[in-house]
Amino acid sequence: MEKRLHLPPERIDRARELARRIVAPVQEFIEAHTTVTVERATLRLAGADGADADGVPVPNLVVDQLRDRLEEGALKYWVNALLRTGEGVAGLNRRVAEGLRVSDLPLADPIALEGKAAELVSACTRRVRGNRSLREERLARYAGKNHAPLLYVIVATGNIHEDVKQARAAAEQGADVVAVIRTTAQSLLDYVPYGATTEGFGGTYATQENFRIMRAALDEVVEKQGRYVYLTNYASGLCMPEIAAMGALERLDMMLNDSMYGILFRDINMYRTFVDQKFSRMINAWAGVIINTGEDNYLTTSDAVEKAYTVLASQFLNERFAFAAGLEPWQMGLGHAFEMDPTIRNGFLLELSQALMAREIFPEAPLKYMPPTKFMTGDIFRGVVQNALFNFVSQMTGQGIHLLGMLTEAIHTPFMQDRFLALENAKYVMNNMADLGDEVEFRKDGVIVKRAQAVLEETVAFLEKIDATGLMPAIEQGLFADIKRPRDMGKGLEGLRKKADGYWNPFETHLQRELGL
């Protein structure tokens, strides 16, 4: 895309250098620590699955047994149990669910442990590579059939089987991406429920079986429609790495996965979140998953005009954290949103400027553009107009992933007809002005160009301030989203562990090698 905002490249380079410096000490902390959910994710990749009679997942049972030894790595004891019992993975899952304590078994010879672990890593790698190859084959077969940007819709009935009906309808109506919204507060559960679920509030539980059911349903539509349909869920919250692992195993295509969202908007401890996001992103990178970051949420608590620079700053930081985890630019669905007060003068020009600025600064990223929500009201007619303007900006600025605004946004979970009307609105607007972006130039001294340049300058100044204070102190001071989070508080801190000198995680080692980290 032609550079039309005349943004100084040296200031963009300066912002990236500052982001690298800001993230570096956080990365040092990350590398020295693990968490209960990193260990559970590792067990899941090795095949740990199922639940006991009370519904406690097998990975939780194992990690709970090893509370005092997690700094060594939980996989050592799982692999040892396979050797000591002579069971296969399915048999060991059953025995752990019945009460076997892997923590009580004497450790086998280290060479035997290494050999068995290599078998588990190889088996998981074959499955993940197979999923990635299948996705790539279908995307190649149906190349050119998806919309640009990808039209993204949500389903959220609480019942996975009802979600399937809604998702199929949405895909047949033209949706390119279907996201299954998680049930309210699942992000605060320090375990992943087991099996298919039919009861959820405001969404549906993220479970591996639910992933499998929805992927199979959408695959049927893919063959019928001759167009690939991407499946999305949430690798966030207290089980961020585990959900990434489940997504890799069941061929999800996108994952909401932000470096700071859980800290700011769910009060999850920052140490825990930073460690968890790294391992979850390594899994996503390995599986070929596109992540979606959460900068749009900043604008629900901060003013979208005054604090636009915090969105861009977070995009730079999310990009740096993503690179550190092995993600490539095409996998970085950096987030932003159409959230300015619709009553302000020239608001549309400011929104256009912000969206185009992100596109020019991150040219290879499939930017995730979020619809107006904060200033939606019960006036559905004005809401349709707001969504049409949002669709206009998205198409004109070349966004990659476009979450459709719904007629009754903020009132209830969308009805099937809400999605249909949203899809029709987007297709109408985007088709009618498909090439407009290539036809327009902007005045160098005009509102759009000057606004983008000003936001970039504010972003550099903001990153300079964070570089001087450190990222964690900046979060404590409430510099992002006007929300303050102390580093020694927040949910999940008790699940953090400093790695021992002999920490053993063959999956982490394998991912580092595969991703060149």
Q: Which helix (H) or strand (E) holds 370?
A: strand 368-370
| C-alpha distances out from residue 411 to 379, 407, 414, Å | 11, 9, 9
**Residue 190 DSSP label:** S
**pLDDT at site 69:** 95
Query: Please, what is the Cα angle at 380 between 376 and 385, to 5 degrees?
Result: 80
pTM: 0.96
Q: How do beta strands 401-403 and 150-155 pair?
A: parallel
Confirm whether 296 is a catalytic residue.
yes
Domain that residue 325 falls in: 147-445
Contact between residue 239 and residue 462 where contact means Cβ atoms under 8 Å apart: no
- Of the candidates 191, 228, 261, 271, the residue annotated as catalytic is 261
| C-alpha distances out from residue 337 to 256, 270, 308, 466, Å | 15, 24, 10, 23
- Domain membership of residue 337 (yes or no) is yes
Annotate 127-178 with three-state secondary structure: HHHHHHHHHHHHHHHCCCCCCCCEEEEEECCCCHHHHHHHHHHHHHCCCCEE
Mean pLDDT of the chain: 95
Q: Is residue 411 pLDDT above 80, yes or no?
A: no
- Domain membership of residue 430 (yes or no) is yes
- Domain membership of residue 186 (yes or no) is yes
Q: Is residue 1 pLDDT above 80, yes or no?
A: no
| C-alpha distances out from residue 506 to 46, 74, 301, 426, 440, Å | 10, 11, 41, 46, 53
**pLDDT at site 436:** 94
Q: Is cis: bond before 149, omega within 30 of 0? A: yes
Q: Is residue 408 pLDDT above 80, yes or no?
A: no
pLDDT digits (tens, 9 = 90+) for 305-359: 999 999 999 999 999 999 999 999 999 999 999 999 999 999 999 999 999 999 9
Confirm whether 261 is a catalytic residue.
yes
**pLDDT at site 517:** 94
Report how far residue 438's alpha carbon sits from residue 303's, in angstroms, rounded to the nearest whole number. Answer: 31
Q: What confidence tier does 300 reach under pLDDT thresholds 50, 70, 90? A: confident
pLDDT digits (tens, 9 = 90+) for 433-449: 999 999 999 999 999 99
- Of the candidates 76, 116, 307, 368, the residue annotated as catalytic is 368
Contact between residue 448 and residue 1 where contact means Cβ atoms under 8 Å apart: no
Q: How many domains does the chain have?
A: 1
Confirm whether 368 is a catalytic residue.
yes
Q: What confidence tier does 410 reach under pLDDT thresholds 50, 70, 90? A: low
Contact between residue 305 and residue 350 where contact means Cβ atoms under 8 Å apart: yes
pLDDT digits (tens, 9 = 90+) for 68-97: 999 999 999 999 999 999 999 999 999 999
**pLDDT at site 396:** 96
pLDDT digits (tens, 9 = 90+) for 17-68: 999 999 999 999 999 999 999 999 999 999 999 999 999 999 999 999 999 9
| C-alpha distances out from residue 369 to 263, 283, 389, 467, 511, Å | 22, 24, 13, 28, 30
What is the rounded average pLDDT of the residues 132-145? 97
* Beta carbons within 10 angstroms of residue 130's beta carbon: 11
- Of the candidates 49, 176, 258, 296, the residue annotated as catalytic is 296
**pLDDT at site 3:** 85
Read off the CATH number of the domain in which 301 is found: 3.20.20.440
Q: Is residue 468 pLDDT above 80, yes or no?
A: yes
| C-alpha distances out from residue 57 to 63, 73, 96, 272, 371, Å | 10, 18, 10, 21, 36
pLDDT digits (tens, 9 = 90+) for 196-241: 999 998 899 999 999 999 999 999 999 999 999 999 999 999 999 9
- Residue type for 306, please? E
- Domain membership of residue 219 (yes or no) is yes
Report how far residue 402's alpha carbon sits from residue 369's, in angstroms, rounded to the nearest whole number. Answer: 5
